[in-house]
Structure 1
Amino acid sequence: MDELACLTNDLSDSGQTVVVGFSTHPHWDHLLWHPGLGEAPRYGTARCADTARDRLSNGIDARRLGIPDEVPLDLLGLITGLPADTARIPWDGPEVRIIEHQAHAPGHAALLIAERGVLVAGDMLSDVLIPMLDLNGTADPIEDHLAALRLLDGVAEDVDVAVPGHGSIGEADQVNARIDQDRAYLHSLRDDRALGDPRVGPSAKDGWEWWPACTNGNSSASPKEANATGRPASDRCATRRQDGGRRISRACRDRKRDWAALRPLLHPYLHWVQANGQVARGRIKVIGMLQAIGYVAPGVRRVARPPGLGSVRWIM
């Protein structure tokens, strides 16, 4: 919420008024709003809005979703779905094209402000995050993501600045490079080849060093995907067979874990929710709790969740 408050203050200081909002996809960190932004209409694609409404219909379990305590929830997800196949944002400003696709989350969309050469990419084209697949309700998440990249590739020549939801902005000369990097990652995943992605392993930027063990050519899992499935990511270390089935990655199955190696595999904002509602926030505290209960020990090849101890959750 600090970023939203900062944005609100910047807009106020510049004398600007918000007249419309848009959520690129139905993950909680993209459904936020600040009271200082006013009561402008907030939109999303029809599928995005439907998904958000379904997920929030029984109330917001902030602990289960890993939403920090300081995040106000009263304005979360109050978006209106635009009619299916709506091509542009309904407003009187510069034309904003909606590029809907099925990568990462249901009803995900990028926004192209062609007059300004700006692409709002949502959770795509990040310089710090590997492509995060939507593993729920889709037959081929890798192909869905590749199809989305083809759509973005089709408008890349009109883009001077790409703004991802996580990471840094990319200027014109970086847009195609990021598309190519994501495509190469997905091809390696699909073809079960070793990765050479700088966002994975020791070369990853500080704070984003996720899954060097489980993404080395063997897994499409990520913290967000694990959160979506409700299971630890160790249960999702798998690759897709040509027949559409799943097989456990040998590298993930056989890799020995010790506590020193475990930390960089965990997202910095990892949460552990116990059955009694107690929450451990941050990977250091989670590792301490895991050690205390014997969840993982040095040399263990397979991670299993003890019954009644709750579940591991990542921020969506």
Structure 2
Amino acid sequence: MGKLHQVADGVWVRQSEWVWSNSIAVRGEDGLILIDPGIDGSELDQLADAVDQLGIPVVAGFSTHPHWDHLLWHSRFGDVPRYATPACARVAGGARERAQAMAAESASGIPLELVALVTPLPADGGPVPGEIIEHQAHAVGHAAILLADHGVLLAGDMLSDVLIPLFDFRQDDQVGAYETALDRLDEAARHVDVVVPGHGAVAEGPQVAARLAADHAYIDALRRGEEPVDARLGPHADWLSGIHRSNLEQARGR
């Protein structure tokens, strides 16, 4: 944790101690795009140091979805456009005060005045390279980014080795939303060797298929009304038990 690691040509990842959150830097045509930078103030400052050492200017930011830990920024990254899907930007703008409060409660030193200042990504993608894969699993306007030229899929809060699928209880039929999203990520994964989740370890080679299989198996079990057999659940992860029970209840229509 802590260092900026290159996972592919033009793609770097720094992992936070907070829920294994991944900050991502991608080299575009005009400079760096920072994706989901975080988490606490000191980590954001360390990320800025690491970005400075790359010697590539930051030209934009991108938030994969409208949860507070994916809506952060630091003044050292620069006063540049920060993008999200139009749906994500709409939700983030409407929930900005809540995101600021959650950030203040969850981590120290976060520049609260910069939380959730995102704008809709232009239809042509603007400076953000690759293909945006938008879906509604986990959050409204959730985006993965397929960097086929780099062989990398940035999965947002999907395909984690530590977190089970986390349902958005403001939306109906998250089982169906996850099935649709995972089918789209299946197709995207055909073009990559590396997957970077929002939380957890980077997946490489055969690990990519294993991550997809794990999320599919979890969702398939819920679709059948069964208890999933999932290595991410158990005594070592008691903190996920409540989330899992809530997922089960939504899947069963309670």
Which TM class, normalised by the smaller chain length?
Answer: 0.7 to 0.9
What fraction of aligned residue pairs are identical, expressed as a percent?
A: 46
Q: Aligned equivalents of 1:54 and 1:195: distance in 2?
A: 35
**Cross-structure match for 2:186:** 153
TM-score (norm 2): 0.77
**Cross-structure match for 1:142:** 175
Contact in 1 for aligned 2:103/2:112 (Cα 8 Å) = no
- Give, in angstroms, the shift of residue 165 of structure 1: 1.0
Give the alignment partner of residue 101 of structure 2, picking from 62, 71, 77. 62
Aligned to 1:36, what secondary structure does the other structure show? helix
Say if 1:166 and 1:36 are closer, same or farther in 2 by CA, change over 3 A.
Answer: same
The one-character-per-residue Cα deviations of 1:88-113 (angstroms, maximum 9, x if unpaired) are 5312x7x4110100010110000111
Say if 1:10 and 1:79 are closer, same or farther in 2 by CA, change over 3 A.
Answer: same
Instruction: Summarize the alignment of residues 82-231 of structure 1 with structure 2, pairs less than 5 Å apart.
Output: 82-83=121-122, 86=123, 89-91=125-127, 95-136=129-170, 138-202=171-235, 204=236, 208-212=237-241, 215=244, 219-221=245-247
Contact in 2 for aligned 1:123/1:165 (Cα 8 Å) = yes
Q: Aligned equivalents of 1:181 and 1:129: distance in 2?
A: 11
Q: Which amino acid in the other structure matches residue 188 of structure 1?
A: A
- Give, in angstroms, the shift of residue 214 of structure 1: 7.2
Q: Which amino acid in the other structure matches residue 201 of structure 2?
A: S
**Cross-structure match for 2:111:** 72
**Cross-structure match for 1:46:** 86
Q: Aligned equivalents of 1:48 and 1:213: distance in 2?
A: 26
- Give, in angstroms, the shift of residue 25 of structure 1: 0.2
**Cross-structure match for 2:120:** 81
**Cross-structure match for 1:289:** none
The one-character-per-residue Cα deviations of 1:138-161 (angstroms, maximum 9, x if unpaired) are 221111011100110011111121
- Unmatched 5+ stretches in structure 1: 222-236, 247-316
Q: Which amino acid in the other structure matches residue 32 of structure 1?
A: L
Contact in 1 for aligned 2:100/2:115 (Cα 8 Å) = no
Say if 1:3 and 1:112 are closer, same or farther in 2 by CA, change over 3 A.
Answer: farther
Q: Deviation above 4 Å: which 4+ runs of structure 1?
A: 58-61
Q: Aligned equivalents of 1:149 and 1:142: distance in 2?
A: 11
TM-score (norm 1): 0.63
**Cross-structure match for 2:15:** none
Say if 1:30 and 1:177 are closer, same or farther in 2 by CA, change over 3 A.
Answer: same
Say if 1:150 and 1:14 are closer, same or farther in 2 by CA, change over 3 A.
Answer: same
- Give, in angstroms, the shift of residue 183 of structure 1: 0.8
Say if 1:8 and 1:90 are closer, same or farther in 2 by CA, change over 3 A.
Answer: same
Aligned to 1:19, what secondary structure does the other structure show? strand
Q: Aligned equivalents of 2:149 and 2:100: distance in 1?
A: 41
Say if 1:82 and 1:129 are closer, same or farther in 2 by CA, change over 3 A.
Answer: same
Larger radius of gyration: 1
- Unmatched 5+ stretches in structure 2: 1-39
- Give, in angstroms, the shift of residue 4 of structure 1: 2.3
Q: Aligned equivalents of 1:220 and 1:111: distance in 2?
A: 28
- Give, in angstroms, the shift of residue 201 of structure 1: 0.3
**Cross-structure match for 1:256:** none
Contact in 2 for aligned 1:199/1:209 (Cα 8 Å) = no
Higher relative contact order (CA 8 A, sep 6+): 2
- Give, in angstroms, the shift of residue 70 of structure 1: 2.3
Contact in 1 for aligned 2:175/2:251 (Cα 8 Å) = no
Q: Aligned equivalents of 2:242 and 2:73: distance in 1?
A: 36
The one-character-per-residue Cα deviations of 1:249-284 (angstroms, maximum 9, x if unpaired) are xxxxxxxxxxxxxxxxxxxxxxxxxxxxxxxxxxxx
Q: Which has the higher strand share?
A: 2
- Give, in angstroms, the shift of residue 6 of structure 1: 2.1
Contact in 2 for aligned 1:201/1:210 (Cα 8 Å) = no
Q: Aligned equivalents of 2:102 and 2:188: distance in 1?
A: 39
How many pairs are equivalent?
A: 214
Contact in 2 for aligned 1:132/1:220 (Cα 8 Å) = no
